[in-house]
Amino acid sequence: MLDKKEKQELNEKLKNLRKDISSLRTKLNELNKQKEDWYSKKENLKDEIKRLVKGVKDIKNISDSTRKNITQHKGGRDNYNKKVKELIEEIKKLNQEKKDVFKKLKIKDPIKIKKDIDKLEESIEVEAFSFDKETKIMKKIKDLKKIYQESSQATELLDKIDNISKEIEETRNKAQDYHNKFIDSIKGNKGSFNSFMELSKKIFNLNKEQETAFEKFINFKKEFTKISNLLKEKLLESKIIKDKLINEEQEKNRILKEKQKSIVEEKLKAKKKLTTEDLLAFREE
């Protein structure tokens, strides 16, 4: 049996344990909330990183396609520029040949001669010249045609030069077109590169945040486990004290009943009248 002091000490200890248990449960709930909040943040960051990584892959695919276009456009531009250089070399040779022919035939420009012929012929048609004047013009036309005929070799060269000049212009335009596409592709690739770098930076920063969130989660989980174990210890200690107090009360009641039973038995032997309390003691027994 516990004495009064021991019983008071146990009740006081139980009272303090109940306060500790209540405080630990409150703290445990707070820790659990913080633990779950950091876990949710970690998972949200994980999803965000996953989304950004997909964006990086998409940009890489676009970038690969752009690089392919850059290679194609650069190749087209370089090929046409190479052709332009070849045509320029060819026209240089033809111009030198033209110069030699003009010098040999002692003529100036056959094209100018042809224009002069056309102009004179047109004047005869539209102007009312006198017979003498018209005769002189006709003679001049005849002389010019003879010179033009003699310069046919030079004319062929001029035609070739003219055709090559046109081809050079067309080829330059095509090279410029490819160059413009090349520049546009580079600009597009630069934009993709900038986006790639921006997303990569975001992913790096989010990874750092995720690591921090995970560390916070682990720390709160450890603290949660520590408090949870402490709470279990307090609950166990509280149960032991309560069980001890309950057993003490039960033992006290048992002794009291034994005493009451003895009193009733003595009364029965002495053939004394039983009270209501005596009868209740028997019935409980």
CB atoms inside a 10 Å sphere around CB 254: 10
| pTM, 2 dp | 0.48
- pLDDT for residue 41: 93
- pLDDT for residue 278: 59
- pLDDT for residue 65: 64
Q: Give the angle 254-257-261 at the CA atoms, nearest 5°.
A: 140
- pLDDT for residue 30: 94
pLDDT tens digit sequence for 46-105 = 999 888 888 777 766 656 666 777 778 788 888 988 998 999 998 888 888 877 777 776
DSSP type of residue 285: -
For the chain (length 285 residues), average pLDDT per consecutive 10? Answer: 77 88 93 94 91 77 66 83 90 83 66 80 82 85 76 72 88 86 69 70 89 93 94 91 80 75 71 67 54
Task: State the distance between the two ends of the chain, measured CA to CA, in whole angstroms.
Answer: 22
In terms of Cβ atoms closer than 10 Å to its own Cβ (0-12, 13-18, 19+), residue 181 is middle
The domain locations on the chain are 4-107+151-263
